[in-house]
Amino acid sequence: MDRTMNRTELLAAELFNYSYANYQDHLGVNIRFDELMPQTVLTLEKAEAEEWPLKELARELEVDSQQAEDLLERLQEARQVVEAENPAESFRNGVRQSIQMAVESGLESAEEIEQLVRQMCYRAADLAYLLKVEGSSLSRYSRHLRREPDVEYHDGYFDEEE
């Protein structure tokens, strides 16, 4: 790993559907990854913070209004993954989004199921990237990955290694 990607680069990877490892591999060799995609993220965040009209954002990004609206929605989804409290929660959010997208698109054929499986594998690879950056192992988050909804856990439960 040459260097750790920053928040904006991670958001760009999510926004444009690149795995973290693939995105990182393009840094330093491709202006699109170094400047253009991160600039799109920064523009979206500025537009959101300053409450730009959709037409202004579309003009700035050189896309139509529907594409600008879609990018703003994707930014919200990207934040849920990138800004999660820890790598396990990032993984859960990414998996959830991938499954929701697959279900919304139909998920009827064996080929579509295989595509979803590939997406889960990419999410696992992203988790591996985050764990490597953090210097952690998957076992550190084993309990967090197995947590049940609506169950209260005592303090420190997720901090213990198995």
Closest CA to 42 of 77, 75, 85: 75
Residue 2: its pLDDT value, please?
67
Residue 149: its pLDDT value, please?
78
Model pLDDT for residues 102-132, shown as the tens digit of each residue: 999 888 899 999 999 999 999 999 999 999 9
Is the torsion defined by CA of 14, 16, 20, 26 positive or negative? negative
Once rounded to an integer, what is the mean pLDDT over residues 3-16? 96
Q: What is the pTM of this model?
A: 0.88
Closest CA to 56 of 72, 45, 68: 68
Q: Grade residue 147 by pLDDT with cuts at 50, 70 and 90.
A: confident
54 pLDDT exceeds 90?
Answer: yes
74 pLDDT exceeds 90?
Answer: yes
Strand, coil or helix: 66: helix
Question: Could you tell me what percent of the chain has a pLDDT over 90?
Answer: 83
Model pLDDT for residues 27-49, shown as the tens digit of each residue: 999 999 999 999 999 999 999 99
